[in-house]
Each structure stands twice: as C-alpha cells, then as structure tokens.
Structure 1
C-alpha cells in the first residue's frame, strides 16, 4: 500500500494497487530517442502511450517532452520522474501509469538543454503537437512577420518557436556531422508534414542556404493523422485518480478508449516499430484524412445541427434519440461511405462501427453547441463535397441535404432568439437569417447566394431543389418537426 499523501514516482510505482496497469519494462534501461515539442495532454494521452507499448522491446525510443513556453507540465511531472496516469473513460474506467517520458524540459528557461538534446546522435525522431498556431504559418508557407519568427531569424541560436528549434537542432547536427532526425508533425492540419517541411526550408534558407539544401535532401517530414478525444484534466479527475492510486498524481490525463495514429512510412534515421503498437503505416494519409472528414466529421455536424434543433445537449444525448441515431447511421453507411475512396486495407464498416461506439460513449460530454461552431467552414468540406460526388454518380442526395438544411434552420433559429453565431461569416449569415420568411425556396435562394459556402453547387438545380425540400421538411424546426423529417428520410433507406 502506498502512503497517504505520497506522490506518484518511481519509488511508489511498485506499491500501486494491482488493478493499476503500469510499465512492464525497466525504465532505467531506456534511452531518449524522441524529442517531442508540445508536451500537452493530447501527446501524453496519445503518442506517448503508443511509445510506452514499445519500450519493452525497443528501449531506445523514450521521450524527452519539451514545452515551448509554460513550465507547468515540467513542474508537475518532473517530481514524479515523468510518470503520470492515463484514464480511459467509457462504460468501464481503467487506469494505466505511463512511463514513456524520460525527461521533461521547458524551452523558455532551459533552451541550452533542449538544443543539446536535439543535437544528440541518440535522438532520431522529433515529433510535434503545437497546434496549427504553433507552426507560425501564413497564407504561403512561413509567416515571416510572426514575432517569434522575427526573433528567431535575428537570434537563430536562441530560438523561441517550434520551427526555430527544429532547424537549430538540425543545424548543429550538420555542423557536427551527425545524421539528421526525422521531423513528424502530429497535429491535425491538412498536409501537416508537407507544410512543416516547407516552413522549415523557408526558415533555413534565410539563415543558411547550404543548410536549407541539406535539409531538403536529407531530412524526412512524414505526414500523419491522429484521432482521440481527450477532455481536459480537472480537479475531479485528480481526486478520482488519487483515490484509486493511493497517492497523488499532479497531472493525470484522460481520453476515450478509441485512438488512431496513421503515419506515412518515410523516416530518414530509423524509427520505432510503430506498427507493433497499433500505428497504421500508410502512403495515403490524405485518404485517411478524407475518410475521417466524411465518415466522422460530417455525422458530427449532422448530430450538432439536427440535435440542437431537438433541444439536445451532447453527442451521447443525440445518439439516444430514437429517430436521430438511426438516421445518422444510415447517412454514414448508405449515403456517405459509397462516396469515399478509402485507402488500401481500410475497413469502412469497422470504422463506422467504431465511430458509432464513440458517439454513444456517455462518459464523453461532447457539446453539440461547440460542434456547431464555424458551420460556414465545416459544411463545405464535410458535406457539400460528398453531395457533389453523389450528384456526379447519379446517387440520391435527399438525406445528405437534411443536415445542411438543419444548419440553415439552426442559423435562422439563432438569429430569431438573438444568440450570436460563432462563425467567421456570422454577419452575413445572421443578416440572411434575419430576413428569412419561412418560404423554403425564397430562404434557400438567399442562403445559396453566399458563394463562400455554396459555390459552385448553388448552380446545380438538383441540389437547389433537394435542399429546398429538406428545408421545407424541417418545418418550424421544432423537435417534433425534426423527428418527423428524420422518420420520412428513413423511408426507403436501403436505396
């Protein structure tokens, strides 16, 4: 038994209750082979867990977790020898102590230590989860006006940005004749590896053109895709974990049971045996992104708008609604899946099964109101592309138009009750919605004039008619009217 008030660390690890899963390898025998920039909750609940699964057979791939600015993670976990608890939340909650992080650093006040680690020949992989903002990107690659980039170009040996650190480490390695590391973005942005590579080359070109040429020819920047819902850590989680561990964990993390990591198999200096931990190695990252966008994100939007009109709060609530849940499943299997060109070996039916199980997870409180944000950006890529493909294949689009019409009815409702939209096109959407008369064709014609959302589909008479019919089917957008529209949409669902 652990001592009340004790801290999770190497010395308390063996005394944890038997139900707590813990590392099966000798942590003292591992070596740092990965530097990760952005030591937030997602990394510790996702990539670090995959690496934890591998360290027994591949001890050279432990992680140095680097925060760029905040020292909070370092200060919380360094006294714990890098150990922390992963809580998998679902019907049954499970706890597992993760030991993959062998070192914690903060670049803001330990820059020399970070650069020394990046220069070490033992490090062969640098991974990043710094969010899209952390890449300092502009419309055409690197944003050279970004304050961090301005700073780093003036002082390349004392970088503050992720790009500056990555290139500074490569610069040292080239000067010392050390082979470069692979640089792997694990942030969900389109073509993440390609965009990171372009930014690194643009930055290096300003510092040293020869360095840029070396990076271009020698360094790999694989693309990747990641997926797992990771709710924020709160005091309730800390208390729950402490009660089960018998000791304190300053920063546990939690996530749903489902997790996915797809990586382009293009490394320049060796790699961990990722496939043995369940990582999918694929040359078609765009195909996996497309499958996720259409089979996961599009149903999410359908649940958000139709569920919000039915006065439901969360995804799990929506999946308990007797007309909405079967509609969404039919939408996925019958209307969306046939339009998705899936990667080789991809099992669409199994993927849909997994998504539906995730949607039903009552432990994940995923708010429909939050998913409904930024509809003008999401609807075109999540649903309108699928509708265009269905039209090209002469497939029916009636069900596909219902969530689009649901979004428009949602926009109208928000305008009527005076609730501000969270959307970059909020002004034009609200103005259009405020003028809505309830007449389906008239309202739809007004919304279709917003080219930023609907062009070029707005010129297709088949789409215009189907969207107007779906809008009319939702009636006054009351819960009863929406339920009736869903029931009618399910008639002939086997088409």
Structure 2
C-alpha cells in the first residue's frame, strides 16, 4: 500500500496561503514540516502550492496526494527520539515549464500571504529576462508572479528565501528591482514592491539527508505499514530564523507552533553560526572524507582521526574567524554541538551529496572565514588548506560523457555536480599539483579575489595536494603532528 489520502486521510484541508519555489528535502523536512505542525496545532491553517522548474518528479507527488513522511531520528537531552510525521502542507505541485499560467493564477488568490524558496545559492543570480514567455530564473519568475498580483490589486506578501546566502532577502529584493528596471515595468509596481512587500532575510538549520538506504527504507515501510517514495529522514534539531518586525511576526502565525521558529529583528548570530560552523566544515570536509573512503558523515566522525581533524578545523581555525559580532563562547559551544550532530547515528548523510556545486560553496561559505583568519592571525590555517587541497583533487575531472564530467577514485567514476567541472577538466590536463593550485587559487572569477595573495596559502595547498596525490588523502589527514 502506498501513502495517499486513501490510506492516510488529511486531518483538515486548508486554503492555499503559501507559494513555494522548490521541492527539495530541506524545504519539505524543515519549513513544510514546521508549517504542518502549526496547522495541526491550529496556529496557521494554510497549505502550500509548490513550483517545480521542470515537470519530472511531479508524478510521485500526484500519486501520493502530495503527502510524505518525515522520519525524525536523533538524541535530545539524552533521550533517543524516533518519530514519523506525515506532512500535509503541500496542496499541489506545479511545473513552471508546462503550467506557468496556472502558477500565475495563484497570485490572484487573496489568501496568498507568504512566498518561500530554496533554489540553492545558484538560484539567487541575475539573468536578463524578457517580459514575454516563461522566465528562466527564479527571480524572473517571482517578478512575474508579483506583477500579476499587483495588477490584480491585491496587497503585498511576505517573501522568505532560505537559500544559504548572507542577507538573502535583501539580495532577492535587489534582483527583483533590477528585473523591474530592465523590463521597463511601471514605477507604481516598483513602489508596491518597495513599500508593500516584505523581503525577510532568513536562515534554515536542520540536517535532512533525504531518503534512507534501501534496506533501512524497507524496514521503515514495515514499521509504517505503507510505502512512501517521498519519505525523508531528518535530525531532531530544527531552526528557521526569520528577520522581521512585529507585523511580520503576527502574520507568520506559524511561529507559535515550535521553538525552532524564530522571528527576530536581527538574525546575524543564527546565520553566522550555521553558515560558518556547520556549512563551512561540511564543505571543507566533504571532498576530504569522500576521497578518504568514508561514505557518510557519521561514519567519518566515528573515526578518531577524522573526529580530531574536524574538531581542530572547527574550533581552532573556523571558530576564531567567525564574525566578532558573535560571542566567542557561543561559537565554541555551538561548534561542539555541531560535532555531536554530525555523529548522529540515525542519519546517513552522504559526503558526495554535499559536493553539489562544490566551487560555489567553497567561495560563499568558507572564503570569508579564510580572509578573516588571515586578518586575525596572519598565517596559514593548515586544516583549512587541506580541505581546499582535497577539493582541488576531487575536482580532477578525468572524463566527460553526455555533457557530464566525472572524477575517478579507487577505479570507479563519480560525477562532478559543479558548474566549474569543465574548467577543471581542462586545468587538470597539466596533472601537476603546483601548477593546478596556482591556476585555481588565482581564479578571481571563482573566489572574488586572488587567493595566492594570502601569504603562504598557495604553497601550503600545493604541498598538501601533492602529498594527497602521492600517498593518499587518508594518509595526509592522519599526519596531524604537522600542526604540533
């Protein structure tokens, strides 16, 4: 039996109040999960229309009547937590490529009050759009949707992007205003955007690795009594921090449902902690651990050498480089908590999945820490340098097939899900650690600066990369006495 309204009738059907861009596990396992809780507790009573860029994958939502299960697993206050929640937040999933007019019609719904997005960091970029046809970019699509709402004479909405970009609400607003200017849209519409539409900076923090491995999945199906092809696992910890005033808080009534939802005037601390102390180490460790033959995060953190390496990276190099606006004691405490979250025995978070858009993640999540570290200490952070060296080695594309690029490890190919894979395919033809390091670190298009200008960093990365190529990544990680 498959999960559906026949097997699991909805507790209550709610009017559509949310437009959501993205169907990924983070939105479904955190934001939609928390809204579902609010609905069931009687605080919000609204469902979400979800926009998917392409039609592929919509069938499974339709087959399950847009229901799915979140399996929450972990430890909280010394207690093992294991619960399964059927989420009822999503009302419809529409494909922008084939159902664009239907998506625009949702703007005419007076109940619509909130827009949520997670299109990854790549989604928050400018693409010149035409006022005709279906916009290519997320900001272009949102501009068209807001324009339809404006022309309908309805009030503005609260827009909450959750992409991991600093001041993501401000960034998205600037992109919308640029679309308005370049498309020669009216001054009245621009004024409506500036004065009636709230763009809220936000931060989401929950490890949601997605569907379990097949053997575990079958065990869960037996426990549940039904199959769910949208099922996902998540950790217990959940945080959705939204920057907004009292009016925003009142309108986002789902805040009352869970302590993990925070609406505050300033979310800098939440953002810096998560971005620099969870995402940055994830990014610096993913290639390193993958090439050291660890498949999952928990597997790696249960290894004494990796655990020590990660602790030193986080607490000795990353923590001191976090914004001075955040109390150092809070940073250290959060860092130790993150290491415990990484060890969560119930989650199988694959390192390879974290390498998605690896180059962009290095740039956005870690380079600010690197430059700050140099400002504070003026020397090379060697754990950091090893993470960058492993990134360069991971990006060694050895073949291309059907427009995709592949690296090779232990005789097997792995896919490079990175917009810069083609660049590395050409750059790595030199097959020389020193030459490749110089080419990559000096690429200002990647990093927004020449990383070779940081005293000693180029030499350190090149040395670590050469050693990884000669003796292996795991062996280089093990050489902790280098830093004594």
TM exceeds 0.5?
Answer: yes
Distance 1:257 1:487, change over 3 A: farther
Aligned to 1:226: 204
Question: Which structure 1 segments of 5+ residues have no match?
Answer: 15-22, 145-149, 437-441
Q: Say which of 356, 372, 379 aligns to 1:389.
A: 372
Partner of residue 255 from structure 2, selected from 274, 285, 290: 274
Contact 2:202 2:241 in 1 (8 A): yes
Q: 1:314 to 1:165 in 2, by over 3 A?
A: closer
Q: Is the 8 A contact 1:58 1:272 kept in 2?
A: no
1:403-446 Cα shifts (integer Å, max 9, x gaps): 2574388469988xx849946241564245x235xxxxx77985
What do you get for the CA RMSD once the two structures are aligned? Answer: 4.3
Q: Could you tell me which of 459, 476, 479 is aligned with 1:482?
A: 476
> TM-score w.r.t. structure 1 length?
0.74
User: 2:396–2:424: 8 Å Cα contact kept in structure 1?
Assistant: no
Structure 1 stretch displaced more, 226-235 or 270-279: 226-235
* TM-score where L is the length of structure 2: 0.75
**Alignment partner of 1:183 out of 156, 159, 162:** 159
CA 1:167–1:176: 2 relative to 1, 3 Å: same
Q: 1:100 to 1:414 in 2, by over 3 A?
A: closer
Determine the structure 2 residue equivalent to 1:361: 344
- 1-side partners of 2:201 and 2:24: how far apart? 20
Q: How many residues align?
A: 454
- Unaligned ranges ≥5, structure 2: 75-79, 399-406
The residue number in structure 2 matching 1:100 is 89
User: What is the CA–CA distance in structure 1 between the aligned matches of 2:397 and 2:136, rounded to whole Å?
Assistant: 42
CA distance in 1, matches of 2:458, 2:39: 56
Q: In structure 1, what is the equivalent of residue 403 of structure 2?
A: none
CA distance in 2, matches of 1:34, 1:445: 46
Q: In the TM superposition, what are the counterparts of 1:70-149 in structure 2 within 5 Å?
A: 75-77=59-61, 80=64, 82-89=66-73, 93-105=82-94, 114-131=103-120, 137-138=125-126, 142-144=127-129
Aligned pair in 2 of structure 1 residues 61, 168: CA closer, same or farther (>3 Å)? Answer: farther
Matches within 5 A, 1:1-400: 5=1, 7-9=3-5, 12-13=7-8, 27-28=12-13, 30-68=14-52, 75-77=59-61, 80=64, 82-89=66-73, 93-105=82-94, 114-131=103-120, 137-138=125-126, 142-144=127-129, 150=130, 153-154=131-132, 163=139, 166-205=142-181, 206=183, 207-233=185-211, 236=214, 239-249=218-228, 251-265=230-244, 270-274=251-255, 276-277=257-258, 278-284=260-266, 288-308=270-290, 310-341=292-323, 347-369=330-352, 371=354, 377-379=360-362, 381-394=364-377, 397-400=380-383
Q: How many Å separate the matches in 2 of 1:335 and 1:402? A: 11
The answer (yes or no) to whether the contact 2:169–2:201 under 8 Å persists in 1 is yes
Could you tell me whether the CA contact under 8 Å between 2:290 and 2:351 is conserved in 1? yes
The offset of 1:375, in angstroms, is 5.9
Task: Work out the CA distance in 1 between the residues paired with 2:106 and 2:170.
Answer: 25
Measure the CA separation in 2 of the matches of 1:161 and 1:409. Answer: 29
Distance change (3 Å), C-alpha of 1:125 and 1:404: closer
**Offset at 1:274?**
1.9
Question: What is the CA distance between 1:44 and its match in structure 2?
Answer: 1.9
Question: 1:40: how far off?
Answer: 4.2
Judging by fraction of residues, say which structure has more strand. 2
Which structure's CA Rg is the greater one?
1
Task: Give the match for residue 435 of structure 1.
Answer: 432
Q: 1:256-284: CA deviations, max 9, x gaps? A: 43433222215669222426421233455
Query: For the residues of structure 1 that align with 2:95 and 2:351, how far apart are their CA atoms?
Result: 36
